[in-house]
Amino acid sequence: MRGVHDVVVRNNKVQIKLTVSRNLTILQGKSATGKTTLLELIAAYDELGANSGVVINCDVPCKILAGRN
């Protein structure tokens, strides 16, 4: 992945917008800021696709490579 990519991940309760500019992105932040929610939404979409109720808008694929329980 090269360049800057805007990512929007949403379901019927939450919408998360972020900009990714590297192949490897590390999420960090204070408690209750949405890190785990973001990972769970992407994982649900990865597993169930459109049936998950999650919509991902990005020009490159979004995948969870680690951190799944």
Q: Assess if residue 40 is contained within a domain.
A: yes
Q: Assess if residue 15 is contained within a domain.
A: yes
Q: Assess if residue 44 is contained within a domain.
A: yes
| Total count of domains within the chain | 1
| 60 contacts 5 by C-beta, under 8 angstroms | yes
Q: Assess if residue 42 is contained within a domain.
A: yes
Domain of 38?
A: 5-57
Q: What is the pTM of this model?
A: 0.77
Q: Assess if residue 22 is contained within a domain.
A: yes
CA 55, 56, 59, 65 dihedral sign is: negative
| Whole-number Å distance between alpha carbons of 27 and 41 | 14
Q: Assess if residue 65 is contained within a domain.
A: no
End-to-end CA distance of the chain: 26
Give the per-residue pLDDT at 60.
81
Residue-wise pLDDT tens digits, 17-62: 999 887 777 889 999 999 999 989 988 988 898 899 999 998 887 7
Q: Assess if residue 63 is contained within a domain.
A: no
